[in-house]
Every structure is written in structure tokens, then in C-alpha cells.
Amino acid sequence: MSAAELRARARRRRLIIQSLIILGTVVFIWTTISSARTNLAALGITSGYGFLERSTGWAYSFSLIDRNIDDTYARTLTIGFMNSLFLGGICIVLSTILGFLIGTMRDMKNLALVSAASVFVQTFRNIPLILQLVFWYAICIHMPGPRQALSLGDSVFLSNRGMMIPTLNVDVQYGVWIALASILLLVMLFLRKVKLGKLFAIWAGGTLAMIVLAALILVPAGEAAVSTPELKGLRFVGGLTVSIEFVAMIISIVLYGSAYIAEVVRGGLKQVPTGLIEAGQAVGLSSGQIWSRIKMPMALRTVIPPLGNQWIFIMKATTIGVAIGFSDLFYIVSTSITQSGQTLELIAILMGAFLLVNFSIAQFVNWLNARMQLKAH
């Protein structure tokens, strides 16, 4: 038999094996679905997604858009999905900033800073996340009432009702869009490799310009551009009230996630060749210039892949909100299962939503990692 005939036979064998694997997978999935439908029918349980058009009839604690108990399951699940994305996005940004700060401190030669950073990492990395959440939630709900609220400059207040902060006098949705645009601007500047000082100047100026523009266009005529919280009776009026559950979730996830990110950053900084640092010192660069122009750019090439894993972990960590009643997607789905009985459909929606989000994060990290690699590698 000739070599060409042997290669053709090998190709046919591979094709047959792959076809059998695909056929077997399809048969397995079809059999599983058919069996589940049969069992559900035997138990008198209806299947399908028709329940999404029914009203829920129950309330929950947090939403970025208007809501009421007459909302359909479809709208309620959408709100839960938005809450998870909003919480996860904020935690990813804050954890990354704090993690880079702590990781840099761990790499310094100052014993006090290194010790403080080490204590931070060892404390928050080694305590289970849900335990930290319960701890911070217990602290938040035992804060003073509105009349004795902790005040910061008579503009920010913290009480057992939540955190009250000044905000633009526009709908919350517009504030979310401004925050997203600001994050997008920061990512674009970072990808264009703008120098650190110039990057923050452009980012701060651009964000301020967006805020001013929104104030000029969206604030109702005759009203103040900024709404500040003000105590009236037993509650605060004006400003933005951030719920206790949301505050506890951010604190716990950010501290836990930043401890892991700090170790990722420290590992990346340790891998920068000593010769490059000595070369920087030889040409008279300061410690800050060596960090911003040599160490951090080189470290990012090894930091990005594990950093992406931490971002995905942080997004999945938003599901612990069910422990304190924060209305993230997992909480909404859990309550929906109890109320509607559509277990399989709702779990499928939950898994699909997290698969979509985390797959998107992974693809973004892969793209970012490819952009950061040296051309010769």
C-alpha cells in the first residue's frame, strides 16, 4: 500500500471516530432531555419558558432600573443579571487597583510597608469569602441610625440604612452609562500605552467632561446639578442611597479579591530581570521611573493571564449575595425557583448567563494578553 493510501485511510479513520463521538454526544443530550421531560410530565410539572411572561409578585432589595412586584420573570431576571454585572464590574475595578497597590508594596524594600502588605494578604486571603461577607454585613447593620449617622464632610453619610452619597441629579441609568464610558476610556488609553501620568490626566479630564456634559444636558431645568443627601426626620432625602447589602458585598469581595491579585502582581514584579533594573539605575532613573517604565510594563506580560482568572473568580463570587439577601442573579433565580417551580429552566438561564459573561472576560483577557506580548515572542 502506498503512502498516499495510508494517509487517506488515516484521515477516514479520524473522520469516522469524530463522527461517532459527535453522534454519541447528540444522542446522550437528546436522551437526557427526553427523559427529563417524561419525568416532569409524570410529576405533573410543566416545562418550557412560558413562565417568563408571568408576574413575579415579590419584591427585592436592589435594582438599577425601576421595578415593582408586577414585573414579569423575564424583567426580574434581567434586573438580577444587571445587578450581578454592576457589582462584578465595580469589584473587578476596585480589586485590581487595590491589588496592584498591595502587590507593589510587597515588592518594596521598606520593611514597614512590606509587613503591612503581607498582613493584609495573609488576613484576607486565608479567611473564607462568605465568612468575611457575614462579618462585614454584621458590622454594617449595627451601624448607628440615620440621626447618628457617621458623616464625612457633611456630604457622605453611613448608617444602618446604607451609605448616602452625593450624585448627579440625573437618573441612575445615566450614571451607569457615564461610569461605563469612563472605564472604556481608561482601557483605551491603557491599550494605546499612554504614559502613566498623561494617562490619568486624560482619563480624569475626560471623565470630568462627561459629567459636566451630562449635568448640562440631563439635569432638569431649575434644579441643582448635584443632589446631596440631607437628613429629614428619620431618613435621608436626596443623593444616592447605596444599600447595606451592596456595601457589604463590595467590601468583602474587593478585600478578598485584591489579596489574590496582590500576589499575582508581586509574582510578576519578581520575574523582571535584575539586569534591566540595574540598567535603569545606571542611567539615573528614579525608583518611581524604574517602576513605571521598566518593572510594571515587563511584569504585565506575566501578570495578565492569571489576572484574568482572578477577574472571572470575582465575577463568580457575586453569587454569595444570596447569603445576605442581595438581589444578584443567583438570588433572583433561587427565589424564582421557589415561586415558579421551573427549576431546570431557571438553572439553565443562570448557567448560560455566567457562561456568557465569563467567556467574554476570558476572550478579552486573551486579546489583551496578545496585545501586551513582545513582537519577537
pLDDT of residue 241: 82
pLDDT at 362: 92
Cell numbers found for residue 248: 457589604
Q: How far is CA 140 from the centre of its chain?
A: 22
* pLDDT (0 to 100) of residue 375: 57
230-232/226-227 β-pairing: unpaired
Q: How many residues does the chain have?
A: 377
Mean per-residue pLDDT over the chain, rounded: 86
* pLDDT mean over 306-334: 91
DSSP per-residue codes, 70-132: T-BHHHHHHHHHHHHHHHHHHHHHHHHHHHHHHHHHHTSS-HHHHHHHHHHHHHHHSS-HHHH
CA atoms within 13 A on the CB side of 368: 21
Task: Give the residue, 265 or 36, on which the prediction is more confident.
Answer: 265
Confidence of residue 96 (pLDDT cuts 50, 70, 90): very high
In the prediction, which pLDDT does 266 show? 92
Q: What is the structure's pLDDT at 377?
A: 46
- Give 55's DSSP letter: B
Cα torsion at 267, 271, 275, 277 (round to 10°)?
-30
Lowest mean pLDDT among 9-23, 244-258, 286-300, 339-353: 286-300
Q: Which three cell numbers stand for residue 9?
A: 485511510
Q: Is the pLDDT of residue 302 over 90?
A: no
With 90 as the cut, is the pLDDT of residue 67 above it?
no
Segment 144-151 shows an average pLDDT of 85
pLDDT category at 264 given cuts 50, 70, 90 is: very high
What are the grid coordinates assigned to 14, written together? 479520524
Residue 204 amino acid letter: A
For residue 238, give Cα distances in angstroms to 94, 233, 345, 347: 26, 13, 40, 38
Q: What is the DSSP letter of 44?
A: T
What single letter denotes the amino acid at residue 230? E
Q: What is the pTM of this model?
A: 0.80
The per-residue pLDDT for 374 is 63
pLDDT class for 3, splitting at 50, 70, 90? confident
Check pLDDT > 70 for residue 376: no
Cell of 143: 451601624
More reliable by pLDDT, 183 or 17 = 17
Predicted confidence (pLDDT) at residue 61 exceeds the cutoff of 60 = yes
- d(CA 32, CA 199) in angstroms, rounded, equals 54
222-233, pLDDT tens digit by residue?
777 788 888 887
Higher-confidence position of 203 and 98:
98
Residue 291 has pLDDT above 70, yes or no: yes
Q: So what's the pLDDT on residue 196? A: 65
For 29-55, what is the mean pLDDT? 80
